[in-house]
Structure formats: C-alpha cells, structure tokens
Amino acid sequence: TAAYNNARRDVVAIAVTSQIRTPLSFGEVIVGDWSNAGLLKPSVIKPILTTIEQGLVLNTLGRL
C-alpha cells in the first residue's frame, strides 16, 4: 500500500538475467512481456530476493 511504502523506504529487488539457459533451473521463470516491463532483452527471473534502501538505488532497469 502507499502507506506502507511511505513508512518503509525499502525497495524489493529480484535477480533478473538475459542469459536464458534451457532447461530453466528450479524456481526460474521467463518474463513473458519483457519489453513492456522495460527490459532490453528476453529475460528470466531468478528466485533471489533482497531489499535495498531506496536511496541506494541508482537506476531502474525495469518493473514487473
């Protein structure tokens, strides 16, 4: 929610790669609409999550 995002200034980030290997590893998912997500190439989401303080984020490569 907006209230949560205003109170917690963290960003949830997930690992994304354009190096697509077949078969995909456990937990990996192909980004179906990678262009509309703002990604430059077909990409795969890896099952790796982290949180980062908003002030440490320099660029946004895409949004899912």
| Apex 11 CA angle, 34 and 63, nearest 5 | 15
Q: Is the pLDDT of residue 52 over 80?
A: yes
Q: What pTM value is reported for the model? A: 0.75
Start-to-end CA distance of the chain, whole Å, equals 16
Q: What is the pLDDT of residues 9-49, one digit of tens each?
A: 888 899 999 999 999 999 999 999 999 999 999 999 999 99
CA dist 2 and 20 (Å) reads 34
Q: Where are the domains of the chain?
A: 2-55
